[in-house]
Amino acid sequence: MTARTLAALVVAGVTLLVGGCASQPTMQGDLVIAKQGSFFVGGREVRSDKMSMVPTVTAAGTIVVDQMYVRYQVPPSAKRFPIVMVHGCCLTGKTWETTPDGRMGWDEFFLRKGYGTYVVDQAWRGRSAWNPAAINQVKAGAAAPDTLPTLFAAGQEPAWAIFRFGPEHGKTFPGMKFPLDAQAEFWKQMVPDWFNALPMPNPTVPSLGELARKLNGAVLMSHSQSGIYPFQAAALDTTGIAAIVSIEPSACPAVTSDLTPYTKMPILVLYGDYMELSPRWAPRLKLCREFVAAANARGGKAQLVVLPEIGIPGNSHMLMQDTNSLEIAEWLSKWLDGALRTGG
């Protein structure tokens, strides 16, 4: 073999390495994954004589509820702390996957940035089991109708304003960036919600803490209804919670609560646009601002960012699916890199 032949082979090999399957993070091209899979965290057994209302399956039995489904992907040479992603009201882990208009979700974006990503379904939602026994008891005439669980699904009409697509159903805020052309695919993501039928804190909360400890440290990234969950997990035990990223939380911890747990890790509270135009969201923003100020007054490393204030306008409540979702993810990735390096 001549030196020239060898040189050609080296070039070919390097080309394949770089173009075909880079081991460094890349935002396009083939994705390289060191490990992936799924598992559950938490769960408790419940027994009923009305688990089944069909004759082919015995009525009495024991099932497990409260467990939290987790799907994960970890890249080669992953960064020190993975990101746990928790969806909001009436949604599932699908929130963080492919956007309604078919673009890359944040689960894959942060994976490509070198983070292990752990996408969960809240307890009693999606692939995390719920208990049908209370419903079956009423159908069997063994309990009164008012013992039925308090369930809700968010219809498209009220959800429109809640998600800040516009001031009311069918009207959009000017420059709003949710991909409404693909709204039919988005509405399919929505599922019924047991939140109001469950104890406080939600069973998902201790499972998030357990997962963070199991991972020997993780960023807890939440959204909307689950925005408060990482804080509630920290109030139980801060161990393993490397940072909190609360996207568009519907609530922050009360300023009158013990703020000590929230001084132990970097915290980002992130909101999109049109906050002051929304009677639902404006007061929430105000309370979260007060929380961040109070936590910082106690020595915390908390930050509240409203995207238009840093030059990114037009974002809805579903900013991880908006047309500029990866621009925000890129900004968030830099924030995380900085926060995790410096401790906030």
Scan residues 271-330 and list those touching its own copies (CB under 8 A).
Answer: none
Question: Which CB, 196 or 342, lies closer to its own copies?
Answer: 196
Nearer to its own copies, 157 or 258 (CB): 157
Q: Which of 86, 154, 205, 295 binds its own copies (CB under 8 A)?
A: 154
Q: List the one residue from 78, 104, 287, 305 that touches its own copies (CB under 8 A).
A: 104
Q: Binding segment for its own copies among 51-59, 234-242, 256-264, 299-307 (CB under 8 A)?
A: 51-59
Per the listing, tokens 């099932």 go with 63
Tell me the β-bridge partners of 35.
Answer: 74
Judge contact between 151 and 194, C-beta under 8 A. Answer: yes
Among 26, 127, 172, 251, binds its own copies (CB under 8 A): 127
| Residues 6 or more apart whose Cβ sits within 8 Å of residue 45 | 62, 63, 64
CB of 164 to its own copies, least distance (A): 15
Q: Which is nearer to its own copies, 188 or 286 (CB)?
A: 188
Report if residue 10 touches its own copies, rule: CB under 8 A.
Answer: yes
Answer yes or no: are the C-beta atoms of 125 and 194 closer than 8 Å: yes
Q: Return d(Cα 82, Cα 90) in angstroms, integer.
A: 25
What minimum distance in Å lies between the beta carbon of 16 and its own copies? 6
- End-to-end alpha carbon distance in the chain: 56
Amino acid identity for residue 92 in this structure: T
Candidate list 84, 92, 112, 318; residue touching its own copies; CB under 8 A: 92
Binding to its own copies, residues 194-223 (CB under 8 A): 196
Give the C-alpha separation, 22 to 29, whole Å. Answer: 9
Contact at 8 Å (CB) between 177 and 323? yes
Question: Which of 215, 240, 22, 230 has the alpha carbon at shortest distance from 116?
Answer: 215
71: enclosing H helix or E strand: strand 68-74
Q: Is 170 in the site for its own copies (CB under 8 A)?
A: no
CB 318 to its own copies: min, Å = 16
**Does position 13 bind its own copies by CB under 8 A?**
yes
In the complex, the smallest distance separating the C-beta of residue 104 from its own copies, rounded to whole angstroms, is 8
Both tokens assigned to 227? 């925005």
Inter-axis angle of helices 229-236 and 204-214, to 10 degrees?
A: 70
Q: Tokens in use for 167? A: 């001031």
Q: Considering only residues 17-36, where is the footprint of its own copies by CB under 8 A? A: 17, 20-23, 30-36
For residue 184, the minimal CB distance to its own copies (Å) is 8
Binding status of residue 183 toward its own copies by CB under 8 A: no
Residue numbers 60-89 binding its own copies by CB under 8 A = 60-64, 67, 69, 71, 76
